[in-house]
Amino acid sequence: MSRTFSYRRKEIVEKSPSIANIQERWPALFDTSQVKEEFRRLTAVELETTFMANLDKHTDALLSLFRTKGGKAGQQIREILIMLNQVGVGQARLHPPLETGYHLEERVKEPNSRQRIKE
């Protein structure tokens, strides 16, 4: 992917292809590891390390904001926060990422659990 970077960049900038077209032509760009590498190539910044450091920095403010959220989303967030408090924040992992169609109990798993949810 690093060899074709300049060509990909030129094609994407000049032709503005659709996401579906990009995915068809450059499927690796939709792989997690390649997203991180492409971000590093573009910005010279390690995406995951930078994101996690900033997430840690803003966690208290985000949790405060989540607690004030109303409606259905607020109720779902409160349920998640209650469950995270029960297992300990930082000790739980969300599998798969929060999406509709999964029950909360299926999303929050202990980190040592070998059981995996269908992804």
pTM: 0.48
Smallest CA-to-CA distance from 8 within 37, 49, 44 is with 37
pLDDT score of 45: 92
pLDDT score of 46: 93
What whole-number distance in Å separates Cα of residue 96 and Cα of residue 117? 7
pLDDT score of 100: 43
Torsion from C-alpha of 44, 47, 52, 55, nearest 10 degrees? 90
pLDDT along the chain (119 residues), means of 10: 82 92 89 90 91 89 86 88 74 49 47 40
Residue 33, Cβ neighbours under 10 Å: how many?
Answer: 9
Residues with Cβ within 8 Å of 104's Cβ and at least 6 positions away in sequence, in order, are 76, 79, 80, 83
Residue 109 main-chain phi, psi, to 5 deg: -130, 150
Both structure tokens of 42 = 């573009």
In the chain, at which residue ranges do the beta strands (DSSP E only) sit?
93-94, 108-109
